Amino acid sequence: MSRDTELFSKQTGRQLSRIVYSREEIRRRVVDMALEISEAYDSEDEILVLGLLKGSFIFLADLVREIQHPLQVDFLVASSYGNSTRTSGEVRLLYDPEASLSGRSVILVEDIIDSGTTLNRLMPLLEARGPRSLEICALLHKRVAVLDREPRWVGFDAPQEFLVGYGLDYSENFRHLPFIGSL
């Protein structure tokens, strides 16, 4: 058993089926993505990194610390589920970023893209605010979604399994794990 699977069983009393991305793998990929992002923008671009809560909080925190470009950070909370567990296909903004998007180079940071519903509904809302550019940066992409706009940066093409850790939750649990595992 690795240190990480041991940590998981100790903290949760459950067995993780496998570690999909170790903390070292995630670390290396995040540094590379940050470099690509840094190179994609000119010095006069005003970057606004917009984190989609809650899932992106750890990824965003690691990512922005490696980006070699001045930037600002804000968050938004979207819910596509209303009161039910089944998707209604509608996105509500439960928290709207305070920052103005107008004329800014906006990077929307998402933890994982599954069905793509959240992004497909959210992007037109953000586009309507007149950003100079709007790109998606996703840590994980299950490659099953039909997206109106593909993310410009993707960390890993993820397996079609339920993943937890590094921000990803199962019923609000496991977000704090420093690696990503499959339940």
Enumerate the active-site residues: 114
Binding mask 92-131 for ligand IMP (x = CB under 6 A): ------------------xxxxxxxxx-------------
Q: Is residue 114 a contact partner of residue 138, using CB atoms and an 8 Å limit?
A: no
- Residue 55 or 131 with smaller CB distance to Mg ion: 55
CB of 41 to ligand IMP, least distance (A): 25
Work out whether 26 is an interface residue with ligand IMP (CB under 6 A): no
Single residue of 55, 151, 165, 181 touching ligand IMP by CB under 6 A: 55
- Bridging pattern class, strands 153-157 and 133-141: parallel
The reply on whether position 30 binds ligand IMP by CB under 6 A is: no
CA pair distance 172, 94, nearest whole angstrom = 17
Hey, is 94 helix, strand or coil? strand
77/124 Cα distance (integer angstroms): 16
Write out the residues near ligand IMP by the rule CB under 6 A.
Answer: 55, 110-118, 145, 162-163, 168-169
